[in-house]
């Protein structure tokens, strides 16, 4: 089967979060299952773009309202990622460093959707399935089915995967002229709450909708940033498929980012060496348990609770631990996390920013990984942590519920709590500090964690079954 993934991110080309990891791994595993998986994404100006050789495969043009755009599709020449990677350059809108966060993101991503649809409409065959990811590709299904120029694509099966329903890409009807000419009586398929809402539109138009974990799918019926009623209405075509992780990229035995490679057999020793490097670099005490946090410093991740939880833990659990934070996001939280360094010397340190290499070193060297998330559609960090023998401490939500069993339950290997509050986080840290004293149990649990297989093989196959059900 030929599958075309349409996405804003794809690791290692460009990654802002979990979407990048998934779009870089799922097509690879689908290819290994014998399918032809392709990825098309905007042309971001990253190191990967500059370091690789690209062939131009198509040139086209379109109008978006009053604007005229030329676009070019380029393809990575050497199949470096194990699948065909295509990028769309639209003169004036892409070829920029960041993936998101520009004032003209509405124009950029609407134009991306038009260019992709236009390009596919020029193929001399139809793809087996078009798989769109998140709101950045959310207008593609509507355009394929309703825009006059592209209606010969109307029968192509379309799947939407929602990696995060909080972000919907909505914009006002004053920009309706951006959508290529369509049957105007179909306007309702674009609309949600009097705005053009690309995510809602994709939910309405896709033949199947998936979320990245079963529990997140259930939660969306109650809390979906205004789309609850839509999920209830469309529930017949919605299902949750748990993300996997790329066991080739995230492998403590071969990871080139970490100081000392290790396997399940010598995990205690390997982790200790990696921990020593981290502690030396960040002025922390190797004898104490090391708690890490890696992620976006935003409300969804409950990042604003971290400063108080860290202070409370250091003062009330008698400084029996170290903390190391890596992240960026809300400027207020960033400032607090920076300022705390001077008052908690020896107990706490942080790096504000995005650092792929350091993230690998932290998964390898930390003892515990904190994830107090309010919302976690799947969460990949906890699965990376497990692979490196680092115990996840998670709030029971979304994919965290589906992938972490508390040590108090049979077969458990993590710590779970219910509320995103300083009290619950601090109490969980206390449980972890007590557990850490029991070296024998820690060794057993580490082996259990590293032995868990959260690889993509099973889920990649489930997507194929889903495509077959609509082909």
- Local structure of 307: helix, strand or coil: helix
Half-sphere exposure of 170 (CA within 13 A, CB side): 18
Rounded Cα gap, residues 220 and 224, in angstroms:
5
Pick one of 17, 92, 128, 299: the residue that binds ligand ADP (CB under 6 A). 17
Instruction: Determine if 21 is a binding residue for ligand ADP (CB under 6 A).
Output: yes
d(CA 375, CA 390): 21
DSSP label of 253: T
How far apart CA 266 and CA 110 sit, in angstroms, is: 50
User: Distance between the two ends of the chain, CA-based, in angstroms?
Assistant: 10
Per CB under 6 A, the list member of 70, 356, 434, 457 interacting with ligand ADP is 356
Of 163, 91, 159, 97, the closest CA to residue 127 belongs to 159
167 vs 311 by CB, closer to ligand ADP: 167
Among 161, 170, 215, 359, binds ligand ADP (CB under 6 A): 359
CB of 454 to ligand ADP, least distance (A): 12
Binding to ligand ADP by residue 251, rule CB under 6 A?
no
Binding ligand ADP (rule: CB under 6 A), the pick from 211, 328, 397, 426 is 328
CB of 54 to ligand ADP, least distance (A): 25
**Which residue spans within 236-285 are E strands per DSSP?**
238-240
The residue among 233 and 257 lying less far from ligand ADP, judged by its C-beta, is 257
The alpha carbon of 131 is separated from its chain's Cα centroid by a whole number of angstroms, namely 16
DSSP letter at 10?
B
> What would the x/- binding string for ligand ADP be over residues 269 to 308, using CB under 6 A?
-------------------------xxx------------
**Is 7 near ligand ADP (CB under 6 A)?**
no
Smallest gap from Cβ 258 to ligand ADP, in A, equals 14
Is position 326 an interface residue for ligand ADP (rule: CB under 6 A)? yes
Q: Where are the beta strands (DSSP E) in 176-317?
A: 191-192, 195-196, 208-211, 238-240, 290-297
Site for ligand ADP in 376-415 (CB under 6 A): 378-381
Instruction: Specify the residue, 369 or 415, whose C-beta has the smaller distance to ligand ADP.
Output: 369
State whether residue 220 is helix, strand or coil.
helix
Number of residues that bind ligand ADP (CB under 6 A): 17
What single DSSP character describes residue 373?
-
Footprint on this chain of ligand ADP (rule: CB under 6 A): 17-18, 21, 294-296, 326-328, 354-356, 359, 378-381
């Amino acid at each position: 089967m030929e599958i075309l993934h349409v996405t804003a991110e794809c690791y290692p080309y460009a990654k802002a979060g979990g979407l990048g990891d998934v779009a870089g791994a799922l097509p690879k595993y689908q290819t290994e299952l014998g399918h032809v998986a392709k990825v098309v994404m905007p042309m971001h100006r990253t190191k990967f773009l500059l370091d690789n050789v690209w062939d131009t495969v198509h040139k086209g043009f379109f109008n978006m309202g009053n604007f005229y755009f030329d676009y070019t599709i380029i393809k990575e020449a050497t199949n470096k990622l194990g699948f065909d990677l295509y990028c769309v350059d639209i003169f004036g809108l892409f070829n920029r460093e960041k993936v998101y966060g520009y004032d003209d993101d509405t124009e950029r991503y609407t134009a991306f959707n038009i260019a992709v649809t236009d390009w596919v409409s020029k193929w001399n065959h139809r793809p087996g399935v078009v798989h769109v990811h998140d709101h950045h590709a959310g207008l593609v299904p509507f355009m394929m089915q309703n825009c006059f120029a592209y209606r010969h694509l109307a029968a192509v099966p379309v799947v939407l995967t929602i990696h995060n329903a909080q972000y919907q890409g909505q914009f006002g009807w004053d920009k309706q002229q951006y959508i290529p000419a369509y049957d105007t009586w179909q306007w309702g398929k674009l609309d949600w709450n009097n705005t053009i809402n690309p995510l809602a539109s994709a939910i309405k138009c896709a033949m199947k909708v998936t979320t990245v974990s079963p529990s997140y799918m259930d939660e969306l019926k109650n809390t979906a940033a205004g789309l609850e009623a839509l999920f209830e209405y469309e529930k017949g075509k919605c299902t949750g498929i748990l993300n996997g992780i790329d066991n080739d990229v995230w492998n403590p035995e071969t990871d080139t980012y970490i100081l000392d490679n290790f396997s399940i057999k010598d995990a205690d020793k390997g982790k200790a060496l990696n921990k020593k490097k981290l502690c030396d670099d960040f002025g922390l005490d190797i004898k104490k348990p090391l708690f890490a946090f890696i992620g976006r410093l935003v409300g969804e991740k409950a990042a604003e609770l971290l400063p108080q939880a860290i202070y409370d833990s250091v003062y009330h659990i008698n400084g029996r631990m170290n903390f190391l934070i890596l992240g960026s996001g809300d400027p207020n939280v960033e400032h607090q996390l920076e300022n705390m360094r001077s008052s908690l010397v020896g107990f706490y340190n942080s790096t504000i920013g995005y650092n792929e290499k350091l993230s690998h070193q932290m998964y390898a060297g930390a003892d515990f990984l904190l994830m107090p998330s309010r919302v976690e559609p799947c969460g990949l960090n906890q699965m990376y942590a497990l692979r490196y023998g680092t115990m996840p401490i998670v709030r029971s939500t979304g994919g965290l519920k589906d992938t972490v069993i508390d040590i108090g339950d049979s077969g458990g290997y993590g710590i779970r709590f219910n509320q995103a509050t300083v009290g619950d986080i601090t109490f969980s840290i206390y449980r972890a500090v007590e557990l850490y004293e029991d070296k024998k149990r820690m060794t057993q649990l580490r082996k259990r964690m590293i032995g868990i297989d959260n690889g993509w093989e099973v889920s990649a196959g489930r997507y194929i079954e889903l495509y077959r059900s609509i082909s």
